[in-house]
Amino acid sequence: MNYVNKRYKETAQLMRINKQAQAAGILKKYIILLSDYEGQGIEGAEKEWTDKETGWANRILDRISRI
């Protein structure tokens, strides 16, 4: 979870200082990590968590693309 909190903070900080391209890169890497984790056959609460995180990251990427 520490990694997740770091990604949230880093992404928010980059967005605040108009570094959208860097924020997008971090989010894309995070989505890949989540996908790799899901590929390990997770289920239940962990699957729900990765789905939620992936949704969040994709929403932020969508916002970045509109800037």
Asked if 50 and 42 touch (Cβ cutoff 8 Å), the reply is yes
Q: What is the pLDDT of residue 2?
A: 66
Domain ranges of the chain: 2-8+19-66
pLDDT computed for residue 1 by the predictor:
54
List the Cα angle 15/16/19 in 5-degree steps: 45
Q: Give residue-wise pLDDT tens across range 21-51.
A: 888 888 999 999 999 999 999 999 999 999 9
**pLDDT number for residue 64:** 86
**Does residue 52 register a pLDDT over 90?**
yes
